[in-house]
Amino acid sequence: MTKRTLILLLIGLMLLLAGCRGDSGTSGQASVSLQNKGSDTMVNLALAWAERYQAEHPEASISVTGGGSGTGLSALLNGTVDIANASRAIKDEELEQAQAAGFTPGEYVVARDAIAVIVNPENPVKELTLAQISAIYRCEITNWSQVGGEDRPIVRLSRETNSGTHVYFLEEVIRLGDKTNTDIFCAETLLMPSSEGIIAEVADNPNAIGYDGLGYVTEDVKMLALSENPAGPFILPSVENVNAGTYPIARDLYMYTRTDTPDGLVKAYLEWVFSAEAQKIVSDLGFVPVEAAP
Amino acid sequence: MMENSRTRRSEFAITFFIKAAGYSSILLVTAIFIFLMKEGLPALGDVDLKTLFGSRWYPIEGYFGIWPLILGSLLVTVGAALVAIPLGVGTAVYISEVAPAWIKEILKPLIEILAGLPSVVLGFLGITVAVPLLRRLLDLPTGLTAFTGAVMLGLISIPTIVSIGEDALNTVPQSYRQAALALGATRWQTIWGVTLPAARSGVITAIMLGIGRALGETMAVMMVTGNAPVLPIQWNALFMPVRTMTATIASEMGEVATGSAHYHVLFFIGIVLFLLSLIVNIFASFVSSKQRRRAERVLS
């Protein structure tokens, strides 16, 4: 009985000591850390940036997590992260919450992204107008034969409502950019918890249509050429077409900070993000680089 | 003397610890209930009842109809029960009544491993194997359906049903079986007419706990049911996508602003879920206590 107590005590003590070592074991080296969270569209980009930056600056530690633009911004407002990634601009009510909490978020456009509309490679449909896609996602068009495809039911895939991509798609495609329009996705739309889930289902299912950031699209699915009006031209999503401004659904990707005058690691990191080296990673990952420094 | 007071002191400490552990569970449940009520009931003020019990769920535009979610959860749970009850009870009967000792030795640990399998792993298997397979096999528009979710949930609740059901069957006195066999009953007649009815309360508890597990399961369901908030009232709803309450809470809670209408409605869904599992539990204990009273009467 007493022996066992002693052993338990010893184990407890060891754990305690181990904990202490972890806390104070930095051995003089001034290490700095940064929490980065938000958009799932940007998570691969943010991870690649963080890895490269940490390789060059061993004293810096940057942890990156996804969860969605809304999740990242609400973490920024709650003060649990230093930089929030968002694939949409901050909403007015989020800005009000920030001001109520006593700070003005800094906004940086760090890259651009095109939304690719994807179908199964077996699907013969090659191009659609935005109006047709809107009708598909509002369940007005329910069969592929109505848009020049085979006689198959259409299965609509979308990201969850906490995704910036979802909100962007709702505003720019379903509502065709019309602010007074109140159309929404029809209830039959499948809301997938991840980009990978959409790609996996579209790659497997010839009935499916989905959308995703250009950086996520793999070889297993087919991208559609899109046009704003029925006469065309129908444009495929690519870095060149986004930069030329011809692809109709492209958007800015943002980083938000807790202050509009960041300092220390946040400032250094943001400056590096706009460097040629970091923007090279942007184009490597299928996103579109930006040129202007903050 | 010395020894005596030490024993008494340790006795006191142990009793105190056990008591505290017992009361803490009551305290915890009460605290959770109060918290749920506090965060969820304001939903009734934020959203009018017609919207709340409407048929459309699209929270970012103020559509807070929770019917599709409630019915989605019920549909998937009932489907899971239909999969899990025959398989689970059947396995329990096989292990306890039919299987030779060496098979029993292999099956029992395997069932326990299945019980320990994280549901996200099953969900992953579902999305890579079951979803494409079911679409081709049943010629569905998509394999992401309530049925796929029900099969996954069935697999998740089977181990619970098997291990508790098997324990219940083991407590049936050997003399019951011997008496039935002596009267000329076949093995099947003994199982169906004597052993299972004698263990009924335990088997029903096992089933109810399995259903409770299915009702509250989140991850696997979120991955394979498609999460489309359709009102599942068509005849083929089982083979269409649905959205469950748990998946809704899990995928939306991370994003909501604390204190918003959406936040309160998500907690309100939590209350509904809590009440549903309470009903399942009350029903289980009602059935098993009724059974015990009858059994006591017979035996006395």
**pLDDT tens across A254-266, in order?**
999 988 888 888 8
Whether B251 and A162 lie within 8 Å, measured CB to CB: yes
Question: How do the domains of chain A map onto residue ranges?
Answer: 32-111+252-284, 113-250
Interface touch A205/B251, C-beta < 8 Å: no
Asked if B255 and A182 come within 8 Å (Cβ–Cβ), the reply is no
What is A32-111+252-284's CATH number, 2.60.120.10, 3.40.190.10, 3.30.479.10, 3.30.360.30?
3.40.190.10
Q: What chain A residue is nearest to B131 in terms of C-alpha separation? A: A201
Supply the pLDDT for residue B201. 84
pLDDT > 90 in chain A, percent? 16
Q: Which two tokens stand for residue B89?
A: 């009870």
Q: What is the mean pLDDT of residues A178-201?
A: 86
Of A274, A195, A255, residue with least CA distance to A37: A255
pLDDT given at position A5:
58
* A162, A185, A200 ranked by CB distance to B252: nearest: A162
Q: Do A97 and B257 lie within an 8 Å CB cutoff?
A: yes
Instruction: Kindly determine whether residue A193 and residue B231, on different chains, have CB atoms separated by under 8 Å.
Output: no
Around Cβ A172, how many Cβ atoms within 10 Å? 18
Residues from chain B that touch A71, judged by Cβ atoms under 8 A, are 254-255
**What distance in Å separates the CA atoms of residue B214 and residue B74, rounded to the nearest whole number?**
10
**Among A1-5, A193-197, B82-86, whose mean pLDDT is lowest?**
A1-5
Region A110-137 average pLDDT? 90
Of A70, A97, A208, which is closest to B142 when you measure between CB atoms?
A: A208
Assembly ipTM: 0.78
Determine whether the interchain pair B257/A193 forms a contact, defined as Cβ–Cβ distance below 8 Å: no
Taking 50 as the threshold, does the pLDDT of residue B300 lie above it? Answer: no
What CATH number has the domain spanning A113-250?
3.40.190.10
Three-class DSSP category at B63: strand
Residues in chain A closer than 8 A to B128 (CB atoms): 200
Q: Within 13 Å, how many C-alpha atoms sit on residue A107's CB side?
A: 13
Distance of alpha carbon B78 from alpha carbon B154, whole angstroms: 10
Q: Which chain A residues are within 8 Å of B143, Cβ to Cβ?
A: 204-205
Which among A97, A91, A92, A67 has a CA at the least distance from the CA of A79?
Answer: A97
Distance (Å, whole) CA B137 – CA A292: 54
pLDDT in tens, B175-215: 999 999 999 989 889 998 899 988 888 898 899 889 888 88
